[in-house]
């Protein structure tokens, strides 16, 4: 009896102690990771206004964050995306890169970080090691991404760390001379003269506008130099040098063989390139192919554009004998060639219409059933092929040409997204590594950029936006191309 009472008193004491500790440390337990609010803001922005694959990401600390909106104007020709957050160290960047960098497949990264690491007491060798980890993760995701390291500047407020900064710069410069894809941009001389104090803010640490202006032409010249070298080195050559330099591990880095792709694009007027001046050079499939050649390093991409204006999933059903026979013929031709056969499919715009296109309005259940019939037939006839289902893109709720879409159609269009995702998930069990969800970002991108990236058309309810213009077609091609790249490289 006495033993049980003692145990009870001990339990009460333990719970009381635990309660006191939790109360005292409630703020600590609830504290978010460093910079979490800034990272969440970047994630939200990327959903509402997705960065275009192949953009230039400015990654690092307050150098870029304080540059602000002017950065997009100063480097506009390179499709700049600002991903700087104040006070960041390289480990901070490593912690969040899966959230704000890697998903968007940048073609270039302009990197300015490491000064806070040195000021915090890290040795130059430690900072270099962390930077190598950053490179390894970037190049594991996309070996062709170019990284431009902006040297650690001599800030008046950090004069006592000048020696460490120079050692850090020297090691990165030596590393850049050993591997392709890493380029050293020396900005130290730009703000190291007699007028140095006039180029920094009052804190003596961050550049003012005059200091920024000195950086712009130097960074621009370096980016332009690489742009002029249109032929990129092969992935195998890149990987071999990076393994030799100790950046990547040979056992974790698979060398690639020369890959050829044969792509059949299935879609409606958007795929066909309706309204464009020259469909042969400006339609999205043409630009998707160019992206795969130039940015993904895949040579020998052939394609067949089977987009037909006004067509729905009903029109592409084999039983209707309207357009599927042409798709089958294109696939048959490609089967005789060397290379991976891919079907890039984006249908749904016309299915969602209130009235006009064949079968519209198509319910979400029927839409999924139609896609499954098309997919089943393609998979059976073309063993080993890959299917990539893109989400349809946004159109304006005023869309009403010969067919009626409006807000009702736009709402219906969005109910197709989970049907695509669910269908692909099902195929993951029956046809692993063959059927993929393709682009999902185009909808929100065009919803944000419709004034600049869509043709301005006149319909029965005034101006409407349905078909990408030349600029929008190029962007859509990039979204499709990146989705196809991910599918074929899995």
Q: Which residue has the tokens 């029965």?
A: 460
At residue 26, the pLDDT reads 45
Q: Which residue has the tokens 């104007």?
A: 73
pTM value > 0.75: yes
**Residue (of 442, 330, 352, 430) closest to 390 by Cα position:** 442
Burial 403-435 (b: 16+ CB within 10 A, else e): bbbbeebbebbeebbebbeebbeebeeebeebb
Q: Is pLDDT of 10 > 80?
A: no
Peptide bond just before 361 cis, omega within 30 deg: yes
- Condensed to tens digits (0 to 9), the pLDDT of residues 405-448 reads 999 999 999 999 999 999 999 999 999 999 999 999 999 999 99
Looking at the chain, which residues constitute the CATH 3.40.50.1110 domain(s)? 36-251, 257-488
Separation CA 485–CA 193 (nearest Å):
47
The token duo for 28 is 């600590």
The HSE-up count of residue 272 (CA atoms within 13 Å, CB side) is: 12
At residue 59, the pLDDT reads 98
Dihedral angle, C-alpha 409, 411, 412, 413, nearest 10 °: 90
At residue 237, the pLDDT reads 79
Separation CA 292–CA 364 (nearest Å):
32
When pLDDT is cut at 50, 70 and 90, the band that residue 12 belongs to is low
- Condensed to tens digits (0 to 9), the pLDDT of residues 117-161 reads 999 999 999 999 999 999 999 999 989 999 999 999 999 999 999
- Condensed to tens digits (0 to 9), the pLDDT of residues 236-295 reads 778 888 998 889 887 766 555 457 999 999 999 999 999 999 999 999 999 999 999 887
Query: Which one has a higher pLDDT value, 302 or 20?
Result: 302
The HSE-up count of residue 219 (CA atoms within 13 Å, CB side) is: 28
Q: What pairing do the DSSP bridges indicate for beta strands 108-112 and 56-60? A: parallel
Q: What is the mean pLDDT of residues 460-483?
A: 98
At residue 253, the pLDDT reads 65
Q: Is pLDDT of 227 > 90?
A: no
Q: What architecture (CATH level 2) is domain 257-488?
A: 3-Layer(aba) Sandwich (3.40)
When pLDDT is cut at 50, 70 and 90, the band that residue 28 belongs to is very low
Q: Is pLDDT of 29 > 50?
A: no
Above pLDDT 70, what percent of the chain? Answer: 91
Separation CA 75–CA 91 (nearest Å):
27
Cβ-contact 402, 450 below 8 angstroms: no
At residue 5, the pLDDT reads 53
- Condensed to tens digits (0 to 9), the pLDDT of residues 368-403 reads 999 999 999 999 999 999 999 999 999 999 999 999
**Selecting from 1.10.3720.10, 3.40.50.1110, 3.30.420.40, 3.40.50.720, what CATH number does the domain 36-251 have?**
3.40.50.1110
**Residue (of 81, 77, 57, 59) closest to 69 by Cα position:** 81
């Amino acid at each position: 009896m006495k033993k049980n009472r003692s145990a009870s008193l001990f339990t009460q004491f333990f719970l009381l102690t635990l309660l006191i500790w939790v109360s005292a440390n409630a703020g600590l337990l609830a504290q978010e990771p460093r910079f979490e609010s800034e990272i969440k803001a970047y994630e939200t922005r990327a959903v509402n206004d997705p960065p275009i694959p192949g953009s230039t990401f400015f990654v690092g600390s307050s150098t870029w964050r304080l540059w602000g909106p002017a950065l997009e104007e100063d480097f506009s020709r390179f499709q700049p995306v600002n991903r700087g957050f104040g006070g960041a160290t390289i480990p901070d960047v490593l912690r969040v890169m899966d959230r704000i960098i890697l998903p968007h497949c940048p073609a270039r990264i302009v990197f300015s970080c490491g000064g806070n690491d040195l000021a915090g007491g890290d040795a130059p060798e430690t900072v270099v090691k962390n930077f190598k980890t950053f490179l390894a993760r970037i190049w594991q995701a996309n070996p062709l991404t170019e990284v431009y390291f902006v040297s650690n500047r001599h800030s008046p407020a950090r004069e006592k760390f000048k020696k460490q900064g120079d050692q850090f710069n020297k090691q990165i410069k030596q590393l850049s001379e050993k591997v392709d894809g890493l380029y050293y941009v020396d900005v130290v001389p730009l703000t190291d003269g007699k007028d140095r104090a006039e180029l920094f803010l009052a804190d003596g640490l961050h550049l003012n506008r005059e200091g920024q202006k000195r950086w712009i032409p130097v960074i621009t010249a370096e980016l332009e130099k690489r742009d002029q070298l249109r032929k990129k080195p092969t992935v195998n050559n890149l990987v071999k040098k990076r393994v030799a330099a100790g950046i990547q591990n040979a056992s974790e880095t698979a060398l690639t063989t020369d890959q050829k792709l044969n792509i059949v694009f299935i879609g409606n007027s958007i795929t066909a390139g309706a309204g464009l001046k020259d469909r042969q050079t400006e339609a999205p499939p043409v630009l998707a192919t160019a992206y795969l050649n130039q940015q993904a390093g895949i040579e020998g991409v052939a394609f067949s554009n089977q987009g037909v204006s006004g067509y729905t999933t009903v029109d592409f059903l084999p039983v209707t004998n309207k357009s599927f026979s042409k798709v089958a013929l294109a696939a048959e031709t490609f089967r005789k060639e060397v290379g991976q056969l891919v079907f890039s499919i984006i249908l749904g715009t016309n299915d969602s219409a209130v009235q006009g296109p064949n079968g519209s309005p198509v319910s979400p259940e029927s839409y999924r059933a139609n896609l499954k019939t098309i997919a089943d037939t393609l998979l059976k006839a073309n063993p080993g092929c890959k299917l990539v289902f893109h989400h349809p893109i946004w159109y304006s709720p005023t869309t009403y040409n010969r067919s009626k879409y409006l807000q009702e159609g736009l709402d219906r269009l969005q109910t197709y997204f989970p049907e695509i995702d669910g269908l692909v998930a099902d195929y993951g069990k029956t046809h692993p590594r063959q059927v993929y969800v393709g682009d999902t970002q185009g909808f929100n991108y065009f919803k944000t950029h419709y004034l600049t990236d869509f043709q301005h058309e006149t319909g029965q309810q005034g101006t409407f936006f349905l078909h990408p213009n030349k600029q929008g077609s190029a962007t859509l091609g990039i979204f499709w191309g990146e989705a196809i790249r991910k599918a074929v490289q899995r």
